[in-house]
């Protein structure tokens, strides 16, 4: 199992978190939260896009999870949107992020104390935050799904290609500055971004570096400038042209495309497995009827007074280990947050 390296964290005189690996701040010393709103949410025009979105889910990808502040801010804004527009077709937010050097749950909690407006979501996230291995770990908070890809982003990005090609609506092009983290800001990233972005999808970034602008333009993005946040003179934002050629999608061998759009579903069985299937379907807005031959639920093996879950670990295939550890962590997170 591939192990992770955690962040070396310190704080400057303004109490702004600093990465010692990159010798750079995680967000603006002026106001990190307002920077997130201005650069990423306003830069991608999220509120306006959500109001006209014609499918049930909206997908955001971010190039550096860091302190999680961008996620907390956009998740909070999305919850506001659902409250103000209950009849909107848009019901779910998927937030995909990458992090090579994750912070610990204790470090995240310390930083999040400065943002009490996000306390509820922060507490849920930090309670189940346990990075164990490289690859994807999913966290689920009602209508919001957070997928964090731990490890080197350029290794992880190609794995999104199977299921997210032409599907990402907006990019938060974040991470440490190009001069501090040149390995990330390169043609490989820009080409992967373009392939994954749907036609008309957008990006926004705090930097206005000419190398970034030219790199994004070279792969096909339309790139524009606007006033930067605070003392920054300029920032970049842009879109994938509507007429762009659609990239081919190569689904994995185990992928099975849905054969029906049915919203009224029957589940047979009254055990724990059936109940979690029902819960998952309800969370996706489906109407579900549960059929059980017994007079009450969980009467057989699922009726044990005390149950336990554990990953089936072995040394025969690393893919199996990674799969079971991921499932184990997701199960633990589900129990913690519900």
Question: Would you say residue 114 lies in a domain?
Answer: yes
Instruction: Looking at the structure, tell me whether residues 217 and 325 fall in a common domain.
Output: no
Question: Would you say residue 271 lies in a domain?
Answer: yes
Instruction: Looking at the structure, tell me whether residues 71 and 182 fall in a common domain.
Output: yes
Q: Which helix (H) or strand (E) holds 92?
A: strand 92-99
d(CA 52, CA 89): 9
Instruction: Looking at the structure, tell me whether residues 164 and 296 fall in a common domain.
Output: no
Q: What is the pTM of this model?
A: 0.89
Name residues whose C-beta falls within 8 Å of residue 175's C-beta, 6 or more positions apart in sequence: 63, 64, 66, 181, 184, 185
Name residues whose C-beta falls within 8 Å of residue 205's C-beta, 6 or more positions apart in sequence: 39, 43, 172, 173, 174, 212, 235, 236, 237
Give CA torsion, residues 65, 130, 22, 111, to 10 deg.
70
End-to-end CA distance of the chain: 29
Full domain range(s) for residue 127: 9-239
d(CA 191, CA 213): 13
Of 239, 255, 286, the one marking the end of a domain is 239
Instruction: Looking at the structure, tell me whether residues 232 and 295 fall in a common domain.
Output: no
d(CA 225, CA 321): 46
Residue (of 81, 71, 78) closest to 32 by Cα position? 71
If you search the block for the tokens 């947050």, which residue do you land on?
Answer: 337
3-state class of 99 per DSSP?
Answer: strand
CB atoms within 10 A of CB 243: 7
Question: Would you say residue 210 lies in a domain?
Answer: yes
If you search the block for the tokens 């994938």, which residue do you land on?
Answer: 240
pLDDT (tens digit per residue) in 86-130: 999 999 999 999 999 999 999 999 999 999 999 999 999 999 998
Instruction: Looking at the structure, tell me whether residues 291 and 213 fall in a common domain.
Output: no
pLDDT (tens digit per residue) in 30-56: 889 999 999 999 999 999 999 999 999
Question: Would you say residue 303 lies in a domain?
Answer: yes
Per-position b or e across 262-283, b if 16+ CB within 10 A of its CB: eeebebebbbbebbebbeeeee
What's the gap between Cα 138 and its chain centre? Answer: 8
Number of domains in the chain: 2
Instruction: Looking at the structure, tell me whether residues 149 and 105 fall in a common domain.
Output: yes
pLDDT (tens digit per residue) in 167-193: 999 999 998 888 888 889 999 999 999
pLDDT higher at 324 or 33: 33
Question: Would you say residue 282 lies in a domain?
Answer: yes
**What pLDDT does residue 312 have?**
77
pLDDT higher at 249 or 198: 198
Tokens of 117: 């407006």
d(CA 299, CA 305): 11
Instruction: Looking at the structure, tell me whether residues 146 and 269 fall in a common domain.
Output: no
Question: Would you say residue 3 lies in a domain?
Answer: no
What are the DSSP calls for 96-128, one per residue?
A: EEEESSPPPHHHHHHHHTT-GGGHHHHHHHHHH
Instruction: Looking at the structure, tell me whether residues 94 and 46 fall in a common domain.
Output: yes
Instruction: Looking at the structure, tell me whether residues 153 and 208 fall in a common domain.
Output: yes
Instruction: Looking at the structure, tell me whether residues 36 and 85 fall in a common domain.
Output: yes
Instruction: Looking at the structure, tell me whether residues 82 and 197 fall in a common domain.
Output: yes
Question: Would you say residue 192 lies in a domain?
Answer: yes
- Give the percent of the chain with pLDDT over 70: 97
Tokens of 95: 């937030």
**pLDDT band of 253, cuts 50, 70, 90:** low
Instruction: Looking at the structure, tell me whether residues 214 and 269 fall in a common domain.
Output: no
Q: Domain of 191: which CATH number?
A: 3.40.50.150
Question: Would you say residue 250 lies in a domain?
Answer: no
């Amino acid at each position: 199992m591939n192990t992770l390296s955690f962040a070396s964290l310190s704080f400057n005189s303004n109490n702004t978190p600093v990465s010692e690996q990159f010798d750079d701040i995680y967000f603006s010393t002026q106001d990190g939260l307002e920077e997130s709103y201005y650069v990423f949410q306003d830069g991608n025009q999220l509120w306006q896009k959500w109001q006209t979105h014609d499918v049930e889910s909206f997908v955001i990808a971010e190039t550096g999870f860091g302190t999680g502040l961008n996620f907390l801010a956009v998740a909070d804004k999305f919850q506001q949107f659902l409250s103000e527009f209950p009849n909107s077709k848009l019901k779910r937010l998927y937030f995909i992020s990458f992090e090579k050097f994750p912070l610990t749950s204790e470090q995240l909690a310390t930083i999040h104390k400065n943002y009490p407006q996000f306390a509820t979501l922060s507490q849920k996230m930090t309670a189940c935050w346990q990075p164990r291995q490289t690859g994807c770990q999913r966290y689920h908070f009602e209508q919001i799904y957070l997928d964090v890809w731990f490890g080197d982003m350029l290794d992880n990005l190609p794995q999104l290609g199977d299921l997210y090609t032409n599907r990402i609506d907006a990019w938060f092009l974040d991470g440490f500055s190009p001069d501090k983290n040149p390995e990330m800001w390169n043609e490989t990233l820009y080409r992967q971004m373009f392939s994954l972005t749907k036609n008309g999808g957008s990006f926004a970034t705090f930097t206005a570096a000419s190398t970034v602008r030219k790199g994004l333009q070279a792969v096909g993005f339309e790139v524009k400038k606007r006033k930067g946040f605070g003392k920054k003179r300029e920032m970049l934002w842009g879109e994938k042209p509507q007429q762009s050629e659609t990239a081919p999608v190569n689904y994995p061998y185990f992928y099975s495309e849905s054969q029906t759009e049915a919203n009224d579903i029957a589940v047979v069985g009254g055990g724990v497995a059936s109940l979690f299937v029902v819960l998952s379907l309800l969370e996706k807005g489906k109407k579900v009827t549960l059929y059980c031959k017994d007079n009450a639920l969980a009467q057989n093996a699922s009726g044990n007074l005390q149950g336990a879950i554990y990953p089936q670990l072995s040394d025969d295939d690393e893919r199996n280990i990674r799969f079971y550890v991921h499932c184990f962590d997701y199960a633990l997170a589900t129990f913690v947050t519900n």
